[in-house]
Structure 1
Amino acid sequence: MDRSDKSSNPAADLTDDLVVEILSRLPVKSICRFKCVSWHWRGLITHRDHRKKLPQTLSGFFRGITPRLGDMLTVSDFVSISGAEEQPVSDPSLSFLIGYKTIVPKDCCNGLLFCHCRKVTPSPRYEFDYVVCNPATEKWLILPSSDRKSQVYVSRLGFDPAVSSHFHLFSMLEDVEGYITGVDIYSSKVGAWSNSENGWGDDVALYDRSVFLNGMLHFISLDSTIVAVDREGKSWRTIPLLDTMGAENIWNLNAAFIDQSQGRLHYLNVRERDASTLSVWILENYQSGEWNFKYNISTSQLLGHKGLINGGQYTLIAIHPECSLIFYIMRGGDVLMSYDMDHGEVRPICNLRVKLYGSCPYLPYVPLFTESLANHD
């Protein structure tokens, strides 16, 4: 390279190690943009040896599938959205979890995956473990039994690697009528379970969709509020929704949906009186509980046609953690789609190996290339 080229491109004098060190200090959105600087920079950013240093973004979705009709074997599957780049998961079936007949992903949080794993045993009794693993490094941990699995409504992960290398598993407990009675929380730092009684009040029932944000696990209640509990089970919060945000038809999969994007809680809903519109709200001020209306999306934009019945011809999957993209699947379809809320653009992402059936969730996955899976010392 001659002197004029170097003066017009000062970064050309930087070594690869120094470029990677600089990029490691930038937010993930900037990293994605810098892939377009040159093929050389793209190679640096996507190189496996550098991924441990660089912030990562959404790369795809985990879910459990039954490969053949009537086959009792259930395995993990991964749907990549990263195109032709090197895949972040070398073993999407999670076969490195040795000794299990079935492996069913249940939740994913910031690179860690929580699974129900049925043991390989000659006994007819159904025995399974709670397992937390890191698919990028194939490290995994079997959790001790909480002895109250029969009371568990749903179990969800809480993990923020920017705060701690330790994770928490929340098992929400319910009574025979389906109301929440409390929570068992496993701490990988302590290596044990703790229990707290319900602090939200009486007769609280939940949608099983959850979001871990700001150190708290959030659910939508069937009474049309957001409820949250912290990692120690000491702080129980209720965030009211506006009148126009309440779910009118709780059986509609899109009637109440939450996710987090760009560090803020998002709430999406379809009103029974107007199933042709998907509304999006953002919790602008987390402390005060201030909701701001953001978008009204015509479902004809998502599907390309009208004549919808209860807004049920598509299923919301997730919102991109770094930008205003909604991911969804048409009911009975085999194509993962995205919708850019800022620009009104629909784009097919990829064909699905297995069609969406029922409510089996697609779990958003952001790779975590940390070698250790922290447990108690």
Structure 2
Amino acid sequence: MSEILPEELSVEILARLSMKNLARFRCVCKTWRDLINQRGFAERYRDISPAKFVSFHDKGFYLLDVEGKSPGITTHGKLDFSLDQSMIDESTCVLHCDGTLCVTLKNHTLMVWNPSSKHFKILPNPGIYRDSNILGFGYDLVSNDYKVVTFIDRVDSSTAQVFEFKTGSWRESLRIPYPDWHYRERRGIFVDQHLYWIAYRSNVDRFILSFNLSTHEYRKFPLPVYSQGMACSWLGVTSQKLCNTEYEPCEKEIRISVMEETGSWNKVISLSLSNLISVQDRLWDYQVEFVSFTKKNDLLVKFTGYYDNLKTGDEELAKEKVFLYKTGAKTFEQVRFCNSLSGVQFLGEYVETPVINNLIFT
């Protein structure tokens, strides 16, 4: 192909193949193999591939396709987990980078797993590891290495432990003396060489902790002014920028802001939950549990409603709903599921990427 077409056009053609066909085309000739193995090709493939969401459902991992004609989870969307499903902790934490997942298992175990190639690796325990330790997973462009980060709390300090796949070992790095903050959730958000978590000392003293994967330095950033006292908030990514989502329970409103390069926040969406709830469901007390942007900048929203006034134990005490909000058309579409939605957890975005597996799975 390279003798007939310029490399740029070859990339555009190959980047539109499925992962299964791409694996076959790697074996055609050395030229194609080298082209497909380039990081630039992997990034182009990621950019044009549809995004999906990983969910934990029916004691297994599923992929939710939100960019198809009819968004939903089907039985065909279940991922072939590489280990026995009994290893999966129902409170599992899943992180994603370049088509590879980092998954927490029972017994404080971490594994990295590529669902497309079926490769997986169990990481050694870094030492004092608990279910409350925050986690991050990302790619360090400077060292050309993928890294897993966790902070281990001790009596007088919190120490960053960094797993480097090139060495296959944990490296003790940043030490924060006498930390007195906690974290909104364990999962760190990876954007442009940095991992981010929401941290807090109290409901009125909240900030963003940033960790640089290359220099192993940390910084603290302010949250949007209007979200300082907001307990229901979490971080995400839209258009390659860090975004902050908050849910105001009293006003039943979802607000999303994007961080600009200057560090300032720009509010981009304000969405009333009443637009998603039908009239017959207004008696239920709904709470937002998951909000995330898709690659098309639409919004995936999952919420659960509770109703305490039911008199019989046989009746439903809670109901869950998932909607896709089309930001351009400002319309809502309910997401379909193959069976009961009860207990479903959305764990983050997933994009298939022909990542160079020998950087991780060696």
TM-score using structure 1 length: 0.69
Q: Could you list the per-position Cα deviations for residues 327-371 of structure 1 after superposition, in whole angstroms to 9, with x for gaps in the alignment?
A: 11231545532112343111123225452538x442211112235
Question: Of the two structures, which has the highest relative contact order with CA contacts closer than 8 Å and spacing of 6 or more?
Answer: 2
- The aligned residue for residue 39 of structure 1 is none
- Among 33, 36, 49, which residue is 2:21 paired with? 49
- Change in 2 beyond 3 A, CA 1:184/1:201: same
Instruction: Indicate yes or no: 2:80 matched with 1:94.
Output: yes
Unmatched 5+ residue regions in structure 2?
24-35, 305-317
| Equivalent AA in structure 2 for residue 55 of structure 1 | Y
Instruction: Indicate yes or no: 2:190 matched with 1:212.
Output: yes
- The aligned residue for residue 343 of structure 1 is 329
Instruction: Indicate yes or no: 2:9 matched with 1:22.
Output: yes
| Equivalent AA in structure 2 for residue 210 of structure 1 | G
- Change in 2 beyond 3 A, CA 1:220/1:308: farther
How far does residue 229 in structure 1 lie from its aligned partner after superposition? 0.9
- The aligned residue for residue 347 of structure 2 is 362
- The aligned residue for residue 207 of structure 2 is 225
Instruction: Indicate yes or no: 2:228 matched with 1:246.
Output: yes
- Change in 2 beyond 3 A, CA 1:215/1:316: same
Contact 2:158 2:177 in 1 (8 A): no
Alignment of 1:325-340 (within 5 A): 325-331=298-304, 332-333=318-319, 335-340=321-326
Provide the C-alpha distance between the structure 2 equivalents of 1:91 and 1:279, rounded to a whole number of angstroms: 31
- Change in 2 beyond 3 A, CA 1:354/1:260: same
- The aligned residue for residue 185 of structure 1 is 162
How far does residue 25 in structure 1 lie from its aligned partner after superposition? 5.2
Alignment of 1:121-270 (within 5 A): 127=107, 129-150=109-130, 153-159=133-139, 166-175=145-154, 181-199=158-176, 202-208=179-185, 209-222=187-200, 223-231=205-213, 234-248=216-230, 250=231, 255-270=232-247
TM-score using structure 2 length: 0.72
How far does residue 151 in structure 1 lie from its aligned partner after superposition? 7.8
- Change in 2 beyond 3 A, CA 1:144/1:269: same
Contact 1:131 1:142 in 2 (8 A): yes
- The aligned residue for residue 62 of structure 1 is 54
Provide the C-alpha distance between the structure 1 equivalents of 2:20 and 2:360, rounded to a whole number of angstroms: 25
Instruction: Indicate yes or no: 2:288 matched with 1:314.
Output: yes
- The aligned residue for residue 114 of structure 1 is 102
- Change in 2 beyond 3 A, CA 1:279/1:132: same
Question: What is the DSSP-based 3-state SS (H/G/I as helix, E as strand, rest coil) of the residue aligned with 2:274?
Answer: helix
How far does residue 307 in structure 1 lie from its aligned partner after superposition? 5.1
Provide the C-alpha distance between the structure 1 equivalents of 2:62 and 2:80, rounded to a whole number of angstroms: 8
Alignment of 1:278-293 (within 5 A): 278-285=254-261, 288-293=262-267
Contact 1:137 1:371 in 2 (8 A): no
Question: What is the DSSP-based 3-state SS (H/G/I as helix, E as strand, rest coil) of the residue aligned with 2:82?
Answer: coil
Q: Could you list the per-position Cα deviations for residues 162-210 of structure 1 after superposition, in whole angstroms to 9, with x for gaps in the alignment?
A: 777632111122357xx97232111112221112344497312111143
- The aligned residue for residue 27 of structure 2 is none
Contact 1:261 1:319 in 2 (8 A): yes
Question: What is the DSSP-based 3-state SS (H/G/I as helix, E as strand, rest coil) of the residue aligned with 1:168?
Answer: strand
| Equivalent AA in structure 1 for residue 129 of structure 2 | K
| Equivalent AA in structure 1 for residue 52 of structure 2 | G
Unmatched 5+ residue regions in structure 1?
1-13, 32-43, 68-73, 119-126
Give the paired residue count: 315
Question: What is the DSSP-based 3-state SS (H/G/I as helix, E as strand, rest coil) of the residue aligned with 1:147?
Answer: coil
